[in-house]
């Protein structure tokens, strides 16, 4: 019931945003529509649609995601008891959880405070209204609806991506790294100056742990691949729209106040945190593949068993889940996406500047003619 309630609010937000934006386009005088205008008109309904899709998919996959988390907990305790392996990486989960809750608190406090200030200013003019498809609508009520449907559903979306991020973090600090830890544990038990020869028992233990990690990776990719793709794609689109909001003060006809800056910054922090919780776990898993392969190549063995372990479990198979359309997420992937965002933002800045120059040139002749008369 709780999930259905939040999904219902998100759907109401989508319908409300579509109605208001279509109404704004109808009432806007005819002029050249540019890319920046399209981003501005579409940003809020894109954000609300993203919330609906993420909440719906997460709700449908919730039982599977919880089951995967339970499996990781069981396997982590099993290997910890059998091998007595110390886990300092477990602190990363607490760090990521703390960052997520802090961002959630910042976003909620910022949105609530700025909205209350806006409502106080609107309360002084109770007759203020707008036309929505010919129907008089009170601006005060409109702002309340926007806060309840939009600003209250965005944090739930962050919790969804945060839980997936914690799942990846637990996988990367537990089952995914067991094979490498077993190899390191064997090396630490060897005499100083001795490279160590892996026995068949050592190889079988590492092989078993690696196979379990590969199976878990494939399960995560099959069950959560669409959710990972949807969240990351939504974060990129929402970040692009939020960056475009900073271009509003350039245009004198678009009022922009301190509350708008605060709300926009809070939204950007929210989207960055959502993307960080996922990409950090995916990058960590990619690093585990590279480090495990490197450790394996430094070992001496009896010959064939270790070669088979390396060729079948490390060279052609990876524990990092692949995202549809872009493969495994690496640091190169993240920097490439950031570069695209910066490039597109510069393009919109140039377009807004050219549009402003065009308006100035059109205003100047009318000003000169009025002065001459």
pLDDT of residue 176: 83
**What are the angstrom distances between the C-alpha of 284 and each of 10, 66, 287?**
33, 21, 5
| H/E run at residue 129 | strand 129-132
SS (HEC) of 132-197: ECCEEEEHHHHHHHHHHHHHCCHHHHHHHHHHHHHHHHHHHHCHHHHHHHHHHHHHHCCCCCCCCE
pLDDT of residue 312: 59
CB-CB contact of 166 with 97 (8 Å): yes
Q: Provide the pLDDT for residue 370.
A: 47
Radius of gyration of the chain (CA): 27
What is the spatial distance between Cα 48 and Cα 54, in angstroms, rounded to a whole number? 10
Within 10 angstroms of residue 31's Cβ, the number of other Cβ atoms is 9
* Annotated domain spans of the chain: 2-354
pLDDT at 105: 94
Task: Please give the model's pTM, rounded to 2 decimal places.
Answer: 0.79
Query: What is the torsional sign of CA 323, 339, 161, 147?
Result: negative
Ramachandran angles phi, psi of 135, nearest 5°: -100, 130
User: Cα–chain-centroid distance for residue 141?
Assistant: 31
Q: Which residues of 46-70 are buried (b: 16+ CB within 10 A; e: fewer)?
A: bbbbbbbbbbebbeebeeebeebbe
Burial grade of 42 (CB within 10 A; 0-12, 13-18, 19 or more): middle
pLDDT one digit per residue (tens) for the chain, 373 residues = 566 666 666 666 666 566 666 655 555 555 556 666 677 777 777 888 888 888 888 988 999 999 999 988 887 766 655 554 445 556 778 888 899 999 999 999 999 898 888 777 766 655 555 554 455 556 666 677 777 777 888 888 899 999 999 999 989 888 888 877 776 766 555 554 444 556 677 777 777 888 888 889 899 999 998 899 999 999 998 898 888 888 765 444 445 677 888 888 999 999 999 999 999 999 998 888 777 666 666 655 545 555 566 655 666 777 888 887 778 888 998 999 999 888 888 888 887 777 666 655 554 454 444 444 4
Helices (H) and strands (E) in the chain, counts: 10, 6
**What distance in Å separates the CA atoms of residue 4 and residue 10, rounded to the nearest whole number?**
10
């Amino acid at each position: 019931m709780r999930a259905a309630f939040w999904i219902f609010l998100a759907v109401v937000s989508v319908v409300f945003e579509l109605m208001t934006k279509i109404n704004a386009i109808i009432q806007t005088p005819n002029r050249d529509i540019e890319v920046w205008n399209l981003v501005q008109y579409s940003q809020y309904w894109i954000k609300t649609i993203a919330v609906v899709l993420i909440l719906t998919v997460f709700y449908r996959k919730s039982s599977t995601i919880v089951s995967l988390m339970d499996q990781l907990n069981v396997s982590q305790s099993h290997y910890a008891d059998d091998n007595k392996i110390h886990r300092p990486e477990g602190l990363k989960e607490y760090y990521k959880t703390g960052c997520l809750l802090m961002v959630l608190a910042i976003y909620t406090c910022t949105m609530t405070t700025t909205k209350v200030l806006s409502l106080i200013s609107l309360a002084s003019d109770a007759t203020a209204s707008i036309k929505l498809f010919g129907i008089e609508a009170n601006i005060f009520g409109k702002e309340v609806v926007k806060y309840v449907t939009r600003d209250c559903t965005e944090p739930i979306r962050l919790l969804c991506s945060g839980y997936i991020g914690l799942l990846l973090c637990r996988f990367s600090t537990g089952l995914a790294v067991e094979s490498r830890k077993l190899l390191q544990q064997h090396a630490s038990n060897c005499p100083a100056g001795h490279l160590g020869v892996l026995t068949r028992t050592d190889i079988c233990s590492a092989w078993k742990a690696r196979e379990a990690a590969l199976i878990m990776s494939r399960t995560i990719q099959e069950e959560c691949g669409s959710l990972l793709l949807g969240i990351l794609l939504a974060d990129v689109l929402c970040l692009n729209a939020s960056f475009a909001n900073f271009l509003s003060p350039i245009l004198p006809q678009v009022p922009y106040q301190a509350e708008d800056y605060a709300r926009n910054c809070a939204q950007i922090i929210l989207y960055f945190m959502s993307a960080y919780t996922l990409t950090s776990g995916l990058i960590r898993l990619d690093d585990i593949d590279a480090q495990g392969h490197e450790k394996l190549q430094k070992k001496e063995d009896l010959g064939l068993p270790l070669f088979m372990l390396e060729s079948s479990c490390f060279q052609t198979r990876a524990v990092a889940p692949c995202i549809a359309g872009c493969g495994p997420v690496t640091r190169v992937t993240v920097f490439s996406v950031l570069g695209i965002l910066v490039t597109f933002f510069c393009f919109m800045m140039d377009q807004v500047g050219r549009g402003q120059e065009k308006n100035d040139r059109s205003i100047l002749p009318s000003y000169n003619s009025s002065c001459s008369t």
